[in-house]
Amino acid sequence: MDLTAYISPLIKWWWLIATAAVLACGASFIAVRDEPIMYQSNTTLMIGNPFDNLNPDTNQFWSTQQLAEAYASFARREPVQNATMDALGMDWLPDYTAFVPPRTSFIEISVVDTDPLRAQVVASELANQLIRLGPTNDDQETQQRQTFINEQLDDLQQQILETQSEIETRQSELGDLFSAREIADSQEQILALQTKLSSLQQNYGTLLSNSQQQATNAPTVIEAAQIPNFPIGPNKYFTVLLSGVLGAVVATGAAYLLELLDDRIANPQDLSRADGVTFLTGIPHTKLIKESPSGLIVANHPRAPVAESLRDLRTAIQFSNPDKPLRTILITSPNSGEGKSFIASNLAVIMAHAGYKTLLIDGDMRKPYIDHAFGLVRDSGLSNLLLDLQNDEESNEIPLYKVEDYTHQIGDSSLYVLTSGSIPLNPSELLGSNKMQQLLDKLKTHFDYIVIDSPPALAVTDTMILSAISDGVILIVCARQTTRMQFNRVVNRLGEINVNLIGAVLNRMSKEGSGFYYYYDYGARPGSSRSNPGEKENAEPDISEDRIEYYREPVAQAKD
């Protein structure tokens, strides 16, 4: 699995991710810096006394749980709230909750406030008011009644103990009696005492069920509210950090979304996704174009990164098909303005530097450029040559002198240029004529390499016509300009006519984030040389700025 496709968006959009994280942290800090510190106090109540009963039943537990839910809901109502405010002399209450933990008869009252003491006081008073408003309220009448019941319970308990003691005494004396009458009287007394004991126990149970000790509907505080020592929030540092992380995550998602929506080709990996297309080299974006208005950078800067990349392209062409060397190379691009003419001109100069006799043909008869790059007169070029050959119907073979009349040697180098000539009305018919095929066959016998600059492949059909009669096609793609859809359309159109697509060149590549290493420092130092096997590399350069004036002068018109 290639991780480059997943990492490259992070490297490319790191500034967006960092900016989003910083902005999120800043906004979060501004939002939480003035938030007060909060404290929480809790109190717990229990309904009934299930833990005092040695044999509790399921109904008792179920009923206490239902009562706890009712009490918790009642604690959130106005009667309890108003009573609490009246008792504390307050006109408002801090935020609080009253809830029942699952499957329990407990009531949890939690109060949150900026003042820890106030939180504790309110929690305690809420519990007190909940008890006071319940059936076990602590008014005077209820207290008196409960006191009476307790006194009766104590008296009955004492009588029960005395009766039990007397029964035990009578039973012990029964063993010492010998008279039948005495035994019968003792047994009657014991029976009477047992009847009295049963009555006392029944009365005790009745009173006990009506007391708070065994009351099911009786809330009691089992955990009093305490003054909190530590705040519960907000954790400002954690909030700021979490906001920064969330901002970075959102920005990361946005970066991947932008990359997904961006259909432009930016790096060699994008080119490699097209089946059957070889990435030949990358031409770095350079500021040297401003120093070379003609665009012939390699003439003035033969060791610049652009020149080194074009040498790689020259090597790729030489070794693309060792069994059948490519002689005519067509340079095209999907759209205009992607640098095809720039690369065609500089590639021809690079080949001439290596000692190869090279012909550069401007096959773009609609928007020619080569004449401007070399300062030549365009009125005498390819279109004029083809018309001249068509008018000469008597000759079946193209005479070489006619070709030489329309071509221009650049200085005394091995580079020759054939401009587009006068712009015709029917460029496609002219380029698709038999004379064009015959002309290329003739030129192959006279030149080592023929570089043809053609129109954009998606604009007109001229490119498809020229590619069909060329040995190979190189597709120029402009980084961050050519889309994948446009690139695939050209590749498909070339595949339909079985054109030999040598590969693609990525022009105006950015060094940052491209994953492509330009070894300018390694191969561009004075005195260094980067030659390929079989090259006839001469001392640099044959075509240089000191010879520019020679071939920028207007060239004479073609001979009759």
- Pairing mode, strands 279-284 and 328-332: unpaired
pLDDT given at position 218 = 76
Is 542 a residue whose pLDDT tops 50? no
Class of CATH domain 39-132: alpha beta
Confidence band for 47, pLDDT divided at 50, 70 and 90? confident
Amino acid at 314: R
Quote the CA–CA distance of 80 and 452 in Å, as a whole number.
Answer: 94
Q: Could you tell me which residue, 4 or 385, shows the higher pLDDT?
A: 385
Amino acid at 421: G
Q: Across residues 223-231, what is the average pLDDT? A: 92
Quote the CA–CA distance of 187 and 4 in Å, as a whole number.
Answer: 105
Q: Could you tell me which residue, 97 or 63, shows the higher pLDDT?
A: 97
Digit-coded pLDDT (tens) for 159-188? 888 888 888 887 787 777 777 787 787 888
Q: Across residues 190-219, what is the average pLDDT? A: 73
pLDDT given at position 149 = 67
Confidence band for 329, pLDDT divided at 50, 70 and 90? very high
pLDDT given at position 394 = 57
Reading the block at residue 331, the tokens are 């340079």
Identify the bridge partners of residue 91 per DSSP, sorted by sequence position: none
Is 538 a residue whose pLDDT tops 80? no
pLDDT, averaged across the chain = 82
135-150 burial: b if 16+ Cβ within 10 Å, else e: eeeeeeeeeeebeebe
Digit-coded pLDDT (tens) for 347-395? 999 999 899 999 999 999 999 999 988 888 888 899 999 988 887 765 5
Confidence band for 536, pLDDT divided at 50, 70 and 90? very low
Is 246 a residue whose pLDDT tops 70? yes
* In contact, 84 and 123? CB cutoff 8 Å: no
Quote the CA–CA distance of 43 and 107 in Å, as a whole number.
Answer: 8
Reading the block at residue 346, the tokens are 């500089």
**Other beta carbons within 10 Å of 521:** 9
Quote the CA–CA distance of 414 and 549 in Å, as a whole number.
Answer: 17
Dihedral of CA atoms 531, 532, 537, 539 in degrees, nearest 10, equals 0
Is 531 a residue whose pLDDT tops 50? no
Alpha helices (H) in 262-380, listed in sequence order = 268-272, 288-291, 297-300, 305-319, 340-353, 370-374
Digit-coded pLDDT (tens) for 8-41? 788 888 999 999 999 999 999 998 888 889 999 9
pLDDT given at position 516 = 47
Map tokens 């504790």 to a residue.
120
Strands (E), 216-348: 219-223, 279-284, 328-332
Reading the block at residue 486, the tokens are 């446009």
Identify the bridge partners of residue 509 per DSSP, sorted by sequence position: 284
456-465 burial: b if 16+ Cβ within 10 Å, else e: bbbbbebbbb
Amino acid at 202: Q
* In contact, 364 and 420? CB cutoff 8 Å: yes
Confidence band for 274, pLDDT divided at 50, 70 and 90? low
DSSP classification of residue 115:
S
Quote the CA–CA distance of 110 and 120 in Å, as a whole number.
Answer: 9
pLDDT given at position 19 = 95
Q: Could you tell me which residue, 455 or 299, shows the higher pLDDT?
A: 455
Alpha carbon distances (Å) from 470 to 212, 369, 502: 108, 20, 11
Quote the CA–CA distance of 449 and 119 in Å, as a whole number.
Answer: 92
Amino acid at 30: I
Is 549 a residue whose pLDDT tops 50? no
pLDDT given at position 558 = 30
pLDDT given at position 106 = 92
Q: What percent of the chain has pLDDT over 90?
A: 41
Map tokens 């402009």 to a residue.
478
Task: Please tell me which of 215-224, 255-264, 445-454 the model is most confident about, judged by mean pLDDT.
Answer: 445-454
Reading the block at residue 483, the tokens are 């889309």
Q: What CATH superfamily is the domain 272-552?
A: P-loop containing nucleotide triphosphate hydrolases (3.40.50.300)
pLDDT given at position 560 = 30
Q: Provide Rg for the chain, Cα atoms.
A: 51
Nearby residues of 58 by Cβ (< 8 Å), 6 or more positions away: none
State phi, psi for 184 to the nearest 5 degrees: -65, -40
pLDDT given at position 321 = 80
Confidence band for 519, pLDDT divided at 50, 70 and 90? very low
pLDDT given at position 359 = 96
Left if phi > 0, otherwise alpha if psi is -120 to 50, otherwise beta: which for 121? Answer: alpha
Digit-coded pLDDT (tens) for 115-138? 999 999 999 999 999 988 876 655
pLDDT given at position 524 = 39
- Pairing mode, strands 328-332 and 95-99: unpaired
